Structure 1
Amino acid sequence: MQSDNEIEIQSLLRSLITDVQEGSVLWQLAVLLASLGLAWLLQRQFRQRMAPEAGASRTLNISMSSLSRLLFPLLALALVIIGRGALNHWYSTPLLNIVIPLLFALALIHAVVYMLRRVFSSQDWLRTWERFIGWAVWSGLVLHITGLLPGILTLLDDISFHIGKQRLSVLLITQGILAFTISMLLALWLASSLEARIMQAAALNINQRVILSKVTRTMLILLGVLVALPMVGVDITVLSVFGGALGVGLGLGLQKIASNYISGFIILLDHSLHIGDVVTVDNRKGQVTSLTTRYVVLKIEDGTEALIPNDTFITSTVISQTYSDHRLRLILPIQIGYASPVEAAMKIMLDAAKKQQNILADPEPVVVLKEFADSGINLELVIWVEDPEGGALRLRSSLNLEIWSEFKKHGIEIPFPQREVRLLQPEKLEN
């Protein structure tokens, strides 16, 4: 006995043969080719207008490439549907009826790939999943067209078992996994899109952007879970039990994790720490490069990065060089010999500082005579810089080279430690 899908396919094939004999298939081909051509032109125009700049991030390039590929099947599908509606007034359209589900499957594949690339833009395993999604969608379409899909679904539903009074089948489990996955992907995709827009909002400072993006992501993921649970067949009231268990867990062993998350929101709300600040905490000095709800990324001077829990910034003393003012005072100590002209040395040091563009003119550089030491006279060059971490080492090196070169030209000596040793003869010791 033939299934409904087989009867429908046979009817479409008979209609297609009839249209070929009557010549109406040429109109359908014309509509199809015109739709594909116009969709290609619109996609090309979109790609040219929305092409990222040369210095754009890799994430933006991936996002725009995926969106451009998604645009073609969507435009082609819309144009074919419009063309079929117009052509139905004069001819039957079995060819377009076959093309539309194919274009829909292609659009579905590109839509899923686009969401995956937006959510997991930096992962290399996406290529394998893209192929898997493509094969899965095309296989489902083929099974639907050939009429085998209802039989397979019935077979999966027959493979079942019971947990208490609840009957579970392979089909129910598969549907639950797909529903939960799609719900979470949509939530993560919306969160990534909103987060990108929030981080570009110039009206908000960086802390407000970070906390708003984190709250938005958390709320969307929570909403996705609440939507997915009823689709899987889980009663939402079970969350009350889970919430009680979570509260007990926080009280027994997860209080440190909860403390880090709460501390993260406190740091973002009270504006005590910003991205780009130079701080010293827990015997580590570096620049804040990232603020998350659990830890702060601190880039050390040697290039390494320390992930410091947010709780540390709340309970420990934090030394910030850029809390209220990004300017920082640097002191370069230099010692000259007693026979060297002090005024000339001080003028050379001051002129070397004024030649450097990175040194601020207000407050202006100052050279002071600190003390008369055992081996020479100690001078100090006091300067102020705007970006202490960006080029402090290079600035010190440049200043020292300039001062050393001028000292050699003017005969100014930089002494080394000297000790006077006297040897007494034995007879003098007896006297």
Structure 2
Amino acid sequence: MQDIADPFADFLVSMQALWANVLGFISGVVEPGWRQNQVIIIVVLAFVAWASHARSGAVLQNWVRSHEGWEKWQLRVVVQIKRRLGLIWLLLMLAVTYGIMQSVTWPSRSYLVGVAAELVFAWIFIAFAAQLVRNRPMRRIVTWSLWVYATLYLLDLSKDAAAFLDGLALELGDFRLSVLSLIVAIVVIGLLATMARIASQATAGTIRRNEDISPSMQVLAVKGVQLLTYGIAFYMGVNAVGIDLTGLAVLSGAIGVGLGFGLQKVVSNLVSGVIILLDKSIKPGDVISLGETFGWIQTLGARYASVVTRDGKEYLIPNEDLITGQVVNWSHSNDFVRLDIFFGTAYGDDPHLVRKLAIAAAASVDRVLVDKAPVCHIVGFGDSSVDYILRFWIQDPTGGLTNIRGNVYLALWNSFQENNISIPFPQREVRMLEDT
């Protein structure tokens, strides 16, 4: 009973201390004097800054539009500045007002103006620094948490607020999780994750520029670096706030069993992705066919592969399908691809001349390799035509297969028309019988 009463009593004491500080500040503002005058000055300057925000934002936008050739990062900076022009104007006016009041009156009579300037500066700095956090929900949590902490710290209320938040805790045996430790953990992990992202991006850039590493091993190395850096950031963040992970061992084990059944496909795709990267059967840039999908590998992810087709569609194929399904890799060991087209000519045409014309027509088409000379063979005698197969090689399957087949067919048509080679087609005769 004593263990339960002590945290509750500490919580009440922290609440009373925090409330007493708030009441003391409000009573000082309500009573006429320099504290009230400073609050009025701050409110007036805030209104002027708000009124200047829209006008100066339009001027800044027009100025940026009149200058072309801006980089993306420069435009992002301008957007962030435009959003916070009101705070920037307020900071400048507070700083000027504080400097004037410090020189013409007692320092105590400009104390609140100086605190307000420090608050606005902290808010602006935090807003710009938080842009390093790419995840939007995490960025908002980090931003608001730092804003609240900076405000309480500069108002000398941080200790009372920390005691209040630390009193709101969940205790299970030796495990204790307070609201304060949870907030600190989120902020610290967010900052460390941002540092890990910057470090992993720098490392990934170095790996991708190394031509001695194959593309598949580059993807695997980048994923490994990301997993390592983010894992270290999470572990350091949890330890930095004093959370004992051993207390969550039983709970995490139960959750892991449940996730194991629910995420079988996800785990299978993750393992399949690692296998694909290790055996180098598929790598970025390869041209593959899987079922009705034909395109080239754009990226290899941890869960899926991005395949872009000739018509601009992007298919996200699970890694498991690439392992278990029959995949045609047109550029696995080399980029040479042999294509076959079939055609027929009339029985009255010389087959030797037809073969010669077909080979010459295929060789005249761009993208058809001349050093791997096309060949043409008779494959059968049909009902109304002599059937041939024409085979030729290309070395750029990423350029498309249908278009090169079409160009070869068109070259055959032109050559046969010039040399009076006919392409037969079925003809039917309809006879009208008279009534008998």
Give me the TM-score of the superposition, normalised by structure 2. Answer: 0.63
Contact 2:269–2:318 (8 Å) recurs in 1: no
The counterpart of 2:315, out of the listed 305, 310, 317, is 305
Q: Does 1:377 align with 2:382?
A: no
Indicate the residue corresponding to 1:367 in structure 2: 376
Q: Distance in 1 between matches of 2:218 and 2:140?
A: 36
Matched letter for residue 156 of structure 1: L
Contact 1:300–1:306 (8 Å) recurs in 2: no
Indicate the residue corresponding to 2:126 in structure 1: 108
Q: Distance in 2 between matches of 1:64 and 1:274?
A: 34
RMSD of the alignment, in Å?
4.8
Indicate the residue corresponding to 1:37 in structure 2: none
Indicate the residue corresponding to 1:172 in structure 2: 181
1:335 Cα offset (Å): 0.7
Indicate the residue corresponding to 1:184 in structure 2: 193
Contact 1:333–1:378 (8 Å) recurs in 2: yes
Deviates more, 1:266-275 or 1:193-202: 193-202
Indicate the residue corresponding to 1:205 in structure 2: 214
Q: Closer, same or farther in 2 for the Cα pair 1:180/1:287, shift >3 Å?
A: same
Contact 1:226–1:236 (8 Å) recurs in 2: no
1:223 Cα offset (Å): 0.7
Matched letter for residue 186 of structure 1: M
Indicate the residue corresponding to 2:408 in structure 1: 399
Q: Does 1:353 align with 2:371?
A: no
Contact 2:304–2:316 (8 Å) recurs in 1: no
Q: Distance in 1 between matches of 2:156 and 2:260?
A: 56
Indicate the residue corresponding to 2:302 in structure 1: 293
Task: Tell me how many residue pairs correspond in the alignment.
Answer: 353
1:292-333 Cα deviation digits (max 9, x unpaired): 2333344466735151334x4445554433221211111121
Unaligned 5+ segments in structure 1 are 7-12, 15-43, 53-60, 74-90, 121-125, 423-431
1:15-65 Cα deviation digits (max 9, x unpaired): xxxxxxxxxxxxxxxxxxxxxxxxxxxxx9xxx99x75xxxxxxxx3x565
Q: Closer, same or farther in 2 for the Cα pair 1:306/1:98, shift >3 Å?
A: closer
1:2 Cα offset (Å): 8.5
Q: Distance in 2 between matches of 1:152 and 1:170?
A: 11
SS of 1:262's partner is: helix
Identity of aligned residues (%): 27
Contact 1:278–1:322 (8 Å) recurs in 2: yes
Indicate the residue corresponding to 2:88 in structure 1: none
Q: Closer, same or farther in 2 for the Cα pair 1:160/1:251, shift >3 Å?
A: closer
Counterparts of 1:73-222 in structure 2, within 5 Å, are 103=121, 105-116=123-134, 120=135, 126=136, 140-160=149-169, 162-164=171-173, 166=175, 168-222=177-231
Q: Closer, same or farther in 2 for the Cα pair 1:65/1:197, shift >3 Å?
A: farther
1:410 Cα offset (Å): 3.5
SS of 1:329's partner is: strand
SS of 2:133's partner is: helix
1:353 Cα offset (Å): 2.2
1:212 Cα offset (Å): 0.5
Q: Distance in 2 between matches of 1:130 and 1:220?
A: 19
Contact 1:327–1:384 (8 Å) recurs in 2: yes
Q: Distance in 1 between matches of 2:169 and 2:332?
A: 63
SS of 1:213's partner is: helix
Q: Distance in 1 between matches of 2:129 and 2:367?
A: 50
Q: Distance in 2 between matches of 1:221 and 1:416?
A: 67
Q: Distance in 2 between matches of 1:316 and 1:290?
A: 19
Q: Closer, same or farther in 2 for the Cα pair 1:259/1:133, shift >3 Å?
A: closer
Q: Closer, same or farther in 2 for the Cα pair 1:197/1:109, shift >3 Å?
A: farther
Matched letter for residue 262 of structure 1: V
1:344 Cα offset (Å): 4.6
Q: Distance in 2 between matches of 1:291 and 1:379?
A: 41
1:406 Cα offset (Å): 3.6
The counterpart of 1:334, out of the listed 333, 337, 343, is 343
Give me the TM-score of the superposition, normalised by structure 1. Answer: 0.63
Deviates more, 1:254-263 or 1:325-334: 254-263
Deviates more, 1:326-335 or 1:173-182: 173-182
Q: Closer, same or farther in 2 for the Cα pair 1:222/1:2, shift >3 Å?
A: closer
Q: Closer, same or farther in 2 for the Cα pair 1:293/1:135, shift >3 Å?
A: closer
Contact 1:289–1:298 (8 Å) recurs in 2: yes
Matched letter for residue 288 of structure 1: I
1:206 Cα offset (Å): 0.6
Q: Distance in 1 between matches of 2:164 and 2:126?
A: 26
Contact 1:296–1:307 (8 Å) recurs in 2: yes
SS of 1:357's partner is: coil
